[in-house]
Amino acid sequence: MNDKTQSASGRRLLTGSNLVVLAVLFVAAVLLSGLLLRGARLDLTQNRLYTLSDGTKHIIDGIDEPIHLYFFYSQTTARAVPGLDTYATRVRELLEEIAARSHGKVILETIDPLPFSEAEDRAAGYGLTAVPVGAGGDSLYFGLAGTNATDGQVSIPIFQPDKETFLEYDVAKLMSSLATEKRPVVGILSSLDMGPGFDAQTRSVRNGWVIDDQLRQLFDVRKVDPGIGMIDDAIDLLVLVHPKNLSDDALYAVDQFVLRGGHVMVFVDPDAEAEAVAPDTDPSTAMMQSRASDLPRLFKAWGVHYDPSRVVLDANLALHTQSSADARPERHLAVLGLRQPNMNQDDVISAQLESVNLSTSGYFELAEGATTKMESLAQSSDNASTVASDRLRFLPDPSSLFNDFTPTGTRYVLAARLTGPVKSAFPEHKEDGHLAESKGDVNIVLFADTDMLNDRLWVQVQNFFGQRIYNAFANNGDFVINAVDNLIGSSDLIAVRTRATSARPFTTVETLKRQADDRFRSKEQELQAELTQTEQKLQELESSKGEGSEAILSDEQRAEIERFRSEKLRVRKELRQVRRQLDADIETLGAKLKFINIIGVPLLVTLVAIGFAWWRGRQRRQRREKRAA
């Protein structure tokens, strides 16, 4: 064996040894990183979904006395539930990050409550939900309990994997509840049955609206009697929901509360679909009763113009609705799905909200000569108009709203913040203690829709092992609670609650569907016009026939009927073509995305790798040439 052969063999041996050493170092690095870097994350998501928000950090910084968090997770039992371990790791890492960020203010303890152990009794004592798993019926605990120095106790009964988007908010809310000694007081004056109660028709207990339940979890909610003569100063925020037929005494109480510096949130509606009808009301009378609400005297003093007889229609934001289970979904111009471009991104109440659904909403304008300033929180698109609210109450077919729909180009204000100085709506009062004008700038939030509070527009409620589980598909609840938080001066939770969700809507596909719907509706109107003209022509032919020929069709009638049938088939063919074109456009878009994801990106990476290899090879050749020279 010559020197060259020995040298080559040595190099191969050395290369093999290097690979073994590198493999050992790689495995060691992975194990060490798993231990030393546990909980460390690099968040590369577009909306930074896995990074602590500023609101959470502020809540942690505001903790004065230690808070104990007890994370209960039945690790052994959870092995029977596929995928749960991954989400449990996500929860644990979030809690560990919070504890590390608190510098000792948040003390975290992770507990595996084994069956028939004291830890299991503790989990049950904290009110955590025990989920039976497997044939043996072992209990699975996956929740969080928290305590503070004053024996305060709050818990999250169970973490749901499908609510991962709200994970940080739920934990931040728990810590905020423990860190706050006294909950703010929210007074609600409402003509709608929002809270739990007894349903006389079903003779059973009725659950309240989800928004009412959420408010009661966060705040001290007190019901305000409509006949009240003065608003208690202990109320931090007064919420008026669908105020109807309020007495002058009640209006005066609200007026003076605002002038004293009290904060108010108002929900009015030109057509409140959730308004209940009295049991003894005649059905025909109930159909004719107005379901509008208004505060004309207060709005005038506040510089607000609001027409309770007009409803906003919007072709760009119209959602699909079904009049019955077997009916085809139709776009309803009065049922609106607002998106980020319709929300004010410069106001903490509406910033970063992704979707808000409204139904038969009114709109606000700043009155001429107003001393206040109106800032829009939510508004329509410019492809909008208004219609009388009475028309919507007797509307068998929502698509008929398109027939005479003419956009005005105006972006209507659907929700607004009102600030500035105001004068009393009751200048005739002269008694002691009467305030003629506000002490400073008022802060009022207005909503032109009450249906947005109803569960059907934003949340699904399910029963999960005896617990009411809320799955929100829109940000209506966030919008309302953001406003409450802001008006009572608490903004820590806002940054947590309004973080973007992981859902990414297919806006391009929705635009294609909307365009196809417009073309489809145009063809339907064309067919209807053809039908009407043909029927008129047949009536004219019928009237021109002589006596005794009623059952005999003339050649002209037969030709006209045949022409209509042919035209009807042609238009129907065009309708099918519109639908096929829609499917083709969506399939083309999907093919492009598949090409980019499956072929384009790997091809780009391959080209970059080839370019890098070529560059490295060129560098080696240049170095060899220099050494040879």
Model pLDDT for residues 298-331, shown as the tens digit of each residue? 999 999 999 999 999 999 999 988 877 677 788 9
Give, for 513, the enclosing helix (H) or strand (E): helix 507-543
Q: d(Cα 342, Cα 378) in Å, to the nearest integer?
A: 6
Q: How many other CB atoms are found less than 10 A from the CB of residue 429?
A: 14
- HEC readout, 167-184: HHHHHHHHHHHHHCCCCC
- For the chain, give every domain's residue range: 54-168, 182-276+289-307+360-381+410-493, 510-541+555-598
503, two tokens: 């859902």
Integer angstrom CA distances of residue 152 from 147, 185, 497: 5, 18, 23
Average pLDDT over residues 263-283: 82
Whether 231 and 224 have beta carbons less than 8 Å apart is answered as: yes
pLDDT of res. 471: 85
User: Please, which pLDDT band fits residue 444 given cuts at 50, 70 and 90?
Assistant: very high
Q: What is the pTM of this model?
A: 0.61
pLDDT of res. 532: 63
- Size of the chain, expressed as the number of residues it contains: 629
Strands 237-241 and 185-190: parallel
Of the two residues 72 and 12, the one the predictor is more confident about is 72
Q: d(Cα 561, Cα 554) in Å, to the nearest integer?
A: 11
pLDDT cut 90: percent of the chain above it:
40
Whether 238 and 267 have beta carbons less than 8 Å apart is answered as: no
pLDDT cut 70: percent of the chain above it:
75
pLDDT of res. 563: 74
Average pLDDT over residues 457-470: 78
User: Please, which pLDDT band fits residue 512 given cuts at 50, 70 and 90?
Assistant: low
Q: d(Cα 211, Cα 481) in Å, to the nearest integer?
A: 8
Strands 330-339 and 318-321: antiparallel
CATH 3.40.30.10, domain 54-168, yes or no: yes
- Tell me: pLDDT of 267 over 50: yes
Integer angstrom CA distances of residue 295 from 11, 242, 251, 257, 263: 90, 10, 8, 15, 16
Strands 355-359 and 330-339: antiparallel
Q: What is the DSSP letter of 164?
A: G
pLDDT of res. 3: 56
507, two tokens: 């806006």
Average pLDDT over residues 549-554: 56
User: Please, which pLDDT band fits residue 357 given cuts at 50, 70 and 90?
Assistant: very high
User: Please, which pLDDT band fits residue 502 given cuts at 50, 70 and 90?
Assistant: very low
Q: d(Cα 196, Cα 423) in Å, to the nearest integer?
A: 37
CB neighbour list of residue 60: distance below 8 Å, 6 or more residues apart: 98, 101, 102, 105, 106, 175
445 — phi, psi (to 5°)?
-115, 130
β-strand partners of 130: 141
Of 402, 398, 400, 393, residue with least CA distance to 323: 398
pLDDT of res. 68: 95
Give, for 454, the enclosing helix (H) or strand (E): none
Residue-averaged pLDDT of the chain = 82
Of 204, 164, 218, 176, residue with least CA distance to 483: 218
306, two tokens: 């609001």
Whether 129 and 467 have beta carbons less than 8 Å apart is answered as: yes
CB neighbour list of residue 291: distance below 8 Å, 6 or more residues apart: 269, 271, 272, 273, 275, 393
Lowest mean pLDDT among 208-222, 245-259, 393-407: 393-407
CATH 3.40.50, domain 182-276+289-307+360-381+410-493, yes or no: yes
Query: pLDDT tens-digit profile of 564-604?
Result: 667 766 766 766 666 666 667 667 766 777 777 777 777 88
Please give the sequence-ordered ranges of beta strands (E in DSSP) within 93-135, or none if there are none.
Answer: 106-111, 130-133
pLDDT of res. 598: 77
239, two tokens: 């919420």
pLDDT of res. 616: 82
pLDDT of res. 158: 92
Of the two residues 146 and 5, the one the predictor is more confident about is 146
Strands 197-199 and 130-133: unpaired
Lowest mean pLDDT among 18-27, 490-499, 611-620: 490-499
Number of C-alpha atoms within 13 angstroms, CB side, residue 148?
Answer: 15
Helix, strand, coil share of the chain (percent; to 5): 45, 20, 35
- Tell me: pLDDT of 516 over 80: no
pLDDT of res. 186: 96
Q: How many other CB atoms are found less than 10 A from the CB of residue 415?
A: 29
Of the two residues 157 and 601, the one the predictor is more confident about is 157
Q: What is the DSSP letter of 343?
A: B
Q: d(Cα 135, Cα 53) in Å, to the nearest integer?
A: 41
Three-class DSSP category at 12: helix
